[in-house]
Amino acid sequence: MTLFPALVLGGEKEESFFKEKMIPLAQKFVKRNELVAADFGTNNINKCQVQFFTDGRSGCTASLGLKSGYWFYYISNGQNTEICQFHDSTKTYYALENAPKEKIDVVKALNLRNKLSETNALQLAKKYFNLQGHKEENFHPAEVHQSYWSGGDDNRGGKLPYFDITWYRKDITKTDRESGDSKMLLKSVTIEVSGIDSHLISYSKGLLPIGKDF
C-alpha cells in the first residue's frame, strides 16, 4: 500500500520517485531561487503525477502542483533528474476585451507598481539563469519582452509589470527562427520575473540535455 495513494498514480516505483527525487529537487529549487518558502506536506499538494516511459527508454516525466500556487515539472533519463519547468500563480496576461471599466482600471494600476526597466529585468533574469547552471556563452543574446494586457476602450491594451526573457541556444539560426520549427525554437531557456518584487515567476528549459546546455 502506497503512502500517498491520492497523490501519486501507480505503485512503489512512482512513490519512491516522488519521495526521493521530486520533493528534494523542488525544495532545493525554492531555496536556490529565493522563493517564498513552500509547504510540501501532503495537505498542500494539489496534484502529483509520475509517468515512466513505456517505449524502451529509461526515466519519466512528472509534475507536482501545490495548493499555494507553485507548479514543478520534471524530466528524468533514469540516471539524472531535473526540474525543467516551474511557474507560480502570477497572472502575466489579461484579455480585457469588453471587460468592465472597473476591472480594466485594476489591471492598469498593476503597472504603476513596476520597478524594473527592460535593462534591469534582464540583469535580474540573468541571475536566475545562472542559478540554474546555464552559461551565457552557449546562447545568443537574450531577448526581453514586457508582458501586456489586451483590450480597453481603444483596444490597444497596455503593459504589465512582468517581463519574460528568452535565450536561444547558439546553434539556432535565423532561418530556424523564421521557419517556426518548434523543435528548434525549444532549444531555449525562458525566464519570467516580476517588476513588483523581483521574484522568479517562471522558468522553462526547452529541449536541452538534462543538467547542461549542450
What's the pLDDT score for residue 153? 83
Amino acid at 154: D
Pairing state between β 143-151 and 94-96: parallel
What is the DSSP secondary structure assignment for residue 138, as one 8-state letter? G
How far apart, in Å, are the Cα atoms of 102 and each of 14, 107, 170? 47, 9, 45
Q: What is the pLDDT along the chain (214 residues), one digit of tens a residue?
A: 344 444 555 689 999 999 999 999 999 999 999 999 999 998 999 999 999 999 999 999 999 999 999 999 999 999 999 999 999 999 999 999 999 999 999 999 999 999 999 999 999 999 999 999 999 999 999 999 999 999 998 889 999 999 999 999 999 998 998 898 888 999 999 999 999 999 999 999 999 999 999 9
What's the pLDDT score for residue 30? 98
Grid coordinates standing for 6? 491520492
Grid coordinates standing for 71? 507548479
Strand segments, DSSP code E, in 53-154 are 60-66, 71-76, 81-87, 94-96, 143-151
Counting Cα atoms < 13 Å in the Cβ hemisphere of 33 gives: 31
Torsion of CA 191, 194, 199, 200, to 10 degrees: -20
What's the pLDDT score for residue 1? 35
Q: What distance in Å separates the CA atoms of residue 195 and residue 19, rounded to the nearest whole number?
A: 34
Specify whether the CB–CB gap between 110 and 161 falls below 8 A: yes
What's the pLDDT score for residue 24? 98
The CA-to-CA distance between both ends of the chain, in Å, stands at: 41
